[in-house]
Structure 1
Amino acid sequence: MTRRTSTSIGFVAVLLWALLALFTVGTAPVPPFLLNALTFALGGALGVSWVTATGGWHKLHAVPLRVYLFGTIGLFGYHALYFSALRLAPPAEASLIAYLWPLLIVLFSGLLPGERLGPLHILGACIAFSGAALIVAPGPDGFTGGIGLILAGLCALTWSGYSVLSRRLGAIPTESVAVFCLATAVLSLPAHLIFETTYWPAAPAGWLAIVGLGLGPVGLAFYVWDIGMKNGDIQLLGASSYAAPLFSTLILIVAGLADPRPSLLLAAALIAGGAGLAALGSARAQRRLIK
């Protein structure tokens, strides 16, 4: 599989993650840990079906336990934080803050062997952070995001760190993601029983949202993202991922779940614009390497 093909496959995850906020809002009032358990059980089942169909079970025996722990903690931590953030803060604002992870991937990737940051990466980062500043700045009614936006920021740090560090696990088969998903579901269930009160979707649409999450943003997305992170252009993927917050915000507005006020649209545009500059920087660096 070529680097370009792997990058294209990884970008499929970006498109799926654009639906993450919409589906998450649709699952209310299911609490975060229970939602983790339900959706990752579906995502794990999808992975098991794929591993069985391709005969890839033998690849899992050589995977070290530390890798399974790393993957499980990454998926469990990010989504527990994300689902909590969207329950505690306005979904569009929390989603945009959580989507700072592509920016952080580009910045953190500069620490990897063979990767470096250029002026356009830095400029793009500054523009994107200015968009985030619009979200967290107090409005006429004061600071309304509270703990939800803080959790969203921790989401960004968690997923960007997980994605970049996974690059160092390049020899680990993508089939192992199925184990990560199932282990996350298993870990989430006792967390739900200990810390949460059980609430189920109030309507069939809520169950459909859970299925959509489990098969898409919390299922297929992880398998294709893993391929992209391990074999594709990590800076280009991180930069192009900025399309997700813009798509996600527009989807929430169209669905009537977010107010299309100017500050929100400007924040989304700045975050996406910062991505464009960072992506341009990655493309230029790649062309220089080819020459």
Structure 2
Amino acid sequence: MTATFATPTRQSADIHLRWIGRLVGMKLTGTSGGPQTKTLGLVSGAVVLWASWPALATAVGPAPPFLTLGASALIGFLFSLLLAARKGAAHTFLSLPFKTMVFVALGLMGNNAFYIAAIGRIGPAEANVVHYLWPVFLVLLASMLQQRLPSLLQALGVAFGFMGVAVALYPQMAGSLDGIGVLLGVCGALTFAVYSVGRSLARIETNVVGPSLGLAGLAALSAHFAIEPAYWPSATEWLAIVLMGIGPFTVANMLWDKATRSGSAAAISSFAFLTPLVAMGLLAAFGLGNVTSNTIVGALFAIAGALLSSTSRRSATPGQREGKD
């Protein structure tokens, strides 16, 4: 997943905790067809597109990870550039600071490359649960930035997150568990958490994902030619790669960005917690992954861990004004 996060307020190191910490108990209300309903539709579309990533990555099949990532990222970049050009904003699109492009490109490339590699070794449903440790890592990193120990609820949330991974991987622990695959999934989650913290600290409100996809694509393709065997995807694999570049990489972030600018960032971001369950539903619907009761329960534990580890922050900052993207 490649979410665009809110930019910081005065206490920029706390923004993700403020965002996530007030999710519980908040909801989108409004009459049918009103602005809240439109916002809900935008968020739902973003979540479904993000959740399609494991299914599309599985459909790519044996294609090398860096080739898949590089081609899909370049397609996403070109699609974003065409949309910007239609609005007469191509110059703004291409004027993103280079240091920001490098950071975002590394975050996107590392996160998704680890994720794809983990899918190939431990399975898409299992990798999906492992990758969803990123909210737990996010809370731990934020605590480190604030130089404080995690609260009791946060510690309990961390425990729930790792319990979810253990439950999801339990059937493989009889002797077929791929430790490298698990480590790759953990690295992907940690990379996305570090990327998210960096985005929250950056003072840039414009679209950073679209322009950075070009650099990420070039870097990934360079890695492909350097360390991966030559490979030409089939027509079906190319279709999945194109859909990855346009859907999870581009349109999902556009929908999310528009939603956060038209509604409560804290309220709508609660729907992001549904992503792993929606992803499993898509895997099961298309027969692309071994979705078992263990992986479903593991995902529920991971979601509970993310919510628990962030809820305590809500009571710690009751009077803070909500930041918006």
TM-score by length of 1: 0.81
2:241 aligned residue: 210
CA contact (8 A) 1:177 1:223 kept: no
Residue 247 (structure 1) aligned to one of 267, 278, 289 = 278
1:257 aligned residue: 288
Distance 1:164 1:225 in 2: 18
| Matched length | 287
Q: CA deviation at 1:55?
A: 2.8
1:192 aligned residue: 224
* C-alpha distance after superposition, 1:60-95 (max 9, x if no partner): 576432112111111121122122221222111112
SS of corresponding position for 2:320? helix
CA gap of 1:105–1:238, structure 2 versus 1, over 3 A, is farther
Distance 2:245 2:195 in 1: 20
CA gap of 1:48–1:260, structure 2 versus 1, over 3 A, is closer
2:163 aligned residue: 130
Identity between Structure 1 and Structure 2 (%): 28
CA contact (8 A) 1:240 1:276 kept: no
CA contact (8 A) 2:125 2:291 kept: no
Distance 1:14 1:250 in 2: 12
Letter in structure 2 aligned against 1:195: I
Match runs of 1:33-48 below 5 Å: 33-48=66-81
CA contact (8 A) 2:50 2:248 kept: yes
* Alignment partner of 1:52 is 2:77: no
Distance 1:230 1:148 in 2: 37
Match runs of 1:76-95 below 5 Å: 76-95=109-128
CA gap of 1:285–1:250, structure 2 versus 1, over 3 A, is farther
1:142 aligned residue: 175
What RMSD over aligned residues (CA atoms) do the two structures have, in Å? 3.7
Q: Gaps spanning 5+ residues in structure 1: where? A: none
2:103 aligned residue: 70
Letter in structure 2 aligned against 1:156: A
Distance 1:116 1:13 in 2: 33
* C-alpha distance after superposition, 1:124-170 (max 9, x if no partner): 33222210122345746314233122111100000111011111113
1:167 aligned residue: 200
CA contact (8 A) 2:133 2:189 kept: yes
Distance 2:52 2:313 in 1: 26
CA contact (8 A) 2:153 2:308 kept: yes
SS of corresponding position for 1:198? coil
CA gap of 1:163–1:244, structure 2 versus 1, over 3 A, is same
The answer to which of 208-217 and 231-240 deviates more is 231-240
CA gap of 1:63–1:215, structure 2 versus 1, over 3 A, is closer
TM-score by length of 2: 0.73
Residue 61 (structure 2) aligned to one of 28, 36, 44 = 28
CA contact (8 A) 1:30 1:199 kept: yes
CA gap of 1:10–1:154, structure 2 versus 1, over 3 A, is farther
Letter in structure 2 aligned against 1:178: G
SS of corresponding position for 2:281? helix
1:180 aligned residue: 212
